[in-house]
Structure 1
Amino acid sequence: MNSRRVVITGLGALSGLGNDVNSNWENAKNGKSAAAAISYFDASKFKTHFAAELKGFEPSSRLDRNDIKRSDLYTQYALYTASEAMEDAGLQVSELDSPFDAGVIWGSSQGGMLTFENEVKGYLENDSTPRFNPFFIPKFLGNMASGMISIKFGMMGVNFSPVSACATSNSALMEAFNYIRWGKAKVILTGGSDAPITEASIGGFGALKALSNRNEDPQSASRPFDIQRDGFVMGEGAAALILEEYEHAKKRGAKIYAEVVGAAMTSDAYHMTATHPEGLGASKCMELALKEAGLTIQDVDYLNAHATSTPLGDVSETKAISKLINGADNKLHISATKSMTGHLLGAAGAIEAIFSIKAINEGVIPPTINTEELDPNIPSDIEIVYKESLEKKVKVALSNTFGFGGHNASVVFKEFI
């Protein structure tokens, strides 16, 4: 087993809760909901009329005009948060021994969905010669955010984009963790971004009956674990993390937020869109991540649950957690921050990793909001943080993400000592 330690030295975040890490964290701690009526298009023709859109997002504050012109929104979100994370880490690639020591592993569930929609609509509406934007193909490609980040910062090492639906950015985190442990990189900028508040996404997820239809009260729509939950709230945004080999970070005097100590992926091998009803794949995923960290569930202080507020998913995840607890005494507290941010799809794992890390740094567990009556199918040994943040010393945090196709990905963060 390679002994290289992997630490986190920079963070960037963008969601309906805020346009930087601090505003996201403060609003999450205070139990704010980002959900509101959709403003990007007329959603009245769909069953769901709301989402967790960004508010006051100005890409020009961090991106130049050319980057904006040639990028889909999901890439703009990626570049924006990558810029914040690099600034936060005090990192300049030009100061490294080699630009090949720095890489990018960045994920997106949908890639340039908005670009694809707009270009195909334009083609269908054109009665004469069909015309496509010359940036059409590069703008919608799912790997382009990763490529554009590497270009912007001169990172010439490993560069690719894993895709595992809503588990994508945890998959990216795991890959970054491993590449550094293997000695194939000293610094990797990782995370995920998605811009899925589009007509096709809202219509498609609505057809799957995956979205909440609580149009009369959007802010209470995402209600993980609640008996009356009826689906998730679509969110958008991005989150970026700088993972760094510990000796390299120490040598340059970097501040260290936390350490990545374990990660794992499994598959349910069960259904295209539904999680395994007993959470078998999810339970094994958490078990393997903790085993790699040299820990058990009894060592975990905080678990940021995938918990999207869907009828099946929330129960199967809590069953998976209960299976690990197995009747033993534990100190585990759980919360579902999607109740506030909405579901950022491929970016969910990255922003929830940041919430997990901030919980370690500040000794505060953000709440699960909107849960009024607990689903009786939730196991009784699950301790959920409701409505208000909980002050608690957090040494170890576990973050879960699960995706369509049966993908499971869990990452373990530990207080840096």
Structure 2
Amino acid sequence: MTLVTTPNTAETPWPVRTLSHKLSEWIHRLGHVWVEGQLTQISARPGMRTAFLTLRDPAAEMSLSLTCSPDLLRRSPVPLTEGARVVVYGRPDFYAGRGTLSLKITDIRPVGIGELLARIERIKALLAAEGLFDARRKRPIPFLPRTVGLISGRGSAAQRDVIAVASARWNDVRFRHCEVPVQGPNAVPAIIEHLDLLDRDPDVEVIVIARGGGSVEDLLPFSDETLLRAVSDCRTPVVSAIGHEPDSPLLDLVADLRAATPTDAAKRVVPDVAVERETLAGLRARSAHALRNWVDREHRVIDGLRARPVLARPHLLIDERHAVLDRLRNDLRRGVTHGVDTRRLDVDQLAARLATLGPAQTLARGYAVVQRFADDDHSPHAVSSVEQLPPGARVRIRVADGARLAVVDDDEGQISE
């Protein structure tokens, strides 16, 4: 069929058939492709010439319709069931009559466990290189959470175990239940959706993702890269309680705390009130005992200090020092008095010697001192020679009991008063 290409404007729009044919031409140019996904619906009724399947992306809300021959399903070496991971080979086909897109497949291959584990290892290496498993990213679990967010299967044993064990350990604990599919094609989107709801709830202090184990295929959602990144981006601490020891899903590595089982998660998230009370009572008793020992020890120290003489008789030291001061004061006074007396005696002796050597003693023995008055000086001067006494010289004669003035009369040295 030849299509006439006309300008596409508001005045000359394409009819629906033209657009449908153009879309069909573009899609057919893609050719054959290999696609991986998870089967969610298989419709292959007896007598039908075409089987219809739905292939879903396990990490996103996207799906694609598949068509194939029923013999292709019957020839599969492994029975194909809903939830199985497969790789298909086909060519996109756009059905213009209904405007639908489907993938017409000619080969379908189930993904084996070995391939699944290899893919998990590749995801593990990628996330480890990005640091999502680093212990420094782990957030601490609150000691006594007020509200625990719980993501688990509807009415599952894991849910019952977590609630029963946690409530038995602490009766006041509260839960925000989120019941989701924990396997199959809808598990990852549902878990991510409810994880975001719990993370945005201000009352939820810790989130527990619980499942009671399962096969490798059943646990694939808990190693999904999209889910792991969502857990890593959570602000609320997340506890992984998948309960599958031999092959741990990658969620155990990304979560802030890994619990071996849902029961173990309840025990590690919610403390046992009875045990904590016993621990608190023990700590209280130990602290009281330590306090009493400390008080007794300090009492002994104080008693020892009080028994010392300086504290038993606090004035004794002062009295001793006072006696020492008195003794020193008396010694000082005696020393000063003795020094003064000694110096006084020395002075008396010197005075006596001075008096003995002085002119007064000489005068007392009958001697006299003659002093002449100079003509121009009213102060007399002692005379030591008769030559200094010419006639008419005025002199002063000093004896032991007084002095007299006289004048020299003649050259023979006679003196008249």
**TM-score scaled by length of structure 1:** 0.21
Greater RCO, CA 8 A, separation 6+: 1
Structure with higher Rg: it is: 2
**TM-score scaled by length of structure 2:** 0.21
Which structure has greater helix proportion?
A: 2
Which structure has greater strand proportion?
A: 2
